[in-house]
Amino acid sequence: MDRLIAIVPKGSTIDWPLIERTVMAPFVEDMRKTPQTQRWHGEGDVWTHTRMVCEALVKLEGFRHLPERQRQEVFLAALFHDIGKPAVTKWEDGHYSTKGHAKRGMQMARAFLWKEYGMSGSADKRSFRETVCSLVRHHGLPLHIAESPGEEPHFRAIAA
């Protein structure tokens, strides 16, 4: 777990070369090759988007004031939030569809954290892993709620 935590920035500078050759090595090439619809993601590919999300996150004052463990969980969730996109992205109705990417990403993150970083034994490690995975699974929920106010199914999705 120490190898994983080592990539979480203490300040507002992210060591991308370290991240790309360690934690994200299994995912980064596929993420670079996966395009996104310009309407929502003008930055182009999934890896560029992920980097932009993480860069914006570490600049937030609220993020910097979180307790250390929460900063670690939130940063890793931001890093993993779109790892499922390469597996599900397809061209559909004139744009790239990524339906199911959050659920796939959660599954991928869980397996990766379990196998590669041993986050399966203690209750503390399982709790850390599942917090990261839950954040990955529900990362799009605030946007969906904002786009469809008053629709309760989104809230039920969290409880499921």
pLDDT top residue among 154 and 82: 82
pLDDT of residue 1: 81
Residue 160: pLDDT over 80: no
Q: CB-based contacts of 73: which residues, under 8 Å, 6+ apart?
A: 128, 131, 132, 135
DSSP letters of 123-158?
HHHHHHHHHHHHHHHTTTHHHHHHHSTT-THHHHHH
What is the spatial distance between Cα 39 and Cα 124, in angstroms, rounded to a whole number? 40
3-state SS assignment for residue 67? coil
pTM: 0.86
Question: Partners of 95 in the beta sheet?
Answer: 92
Q: What number is the average pLDDT over the span 47-65?
A: 95
C-alpha 152, offset from chain centre: 24
Could you read off the pLDDT of 111-149 as tens digits, one per residue? Answer: 999 999 999 889 999 999 999 999 999 876 655 554 555
Mean pLDDT of the chain: 87
3-state SS assignment for residue 91? strand
Q: Which amino acid does the sequence have at 25?
A: A
What is the band of 151 on the pLDDT scale with cuts at 50, 70, 90?
Answer: low
pLDDT of residue 67: 96
40-44, 86-90, 102-106: which is most confident: 102-106
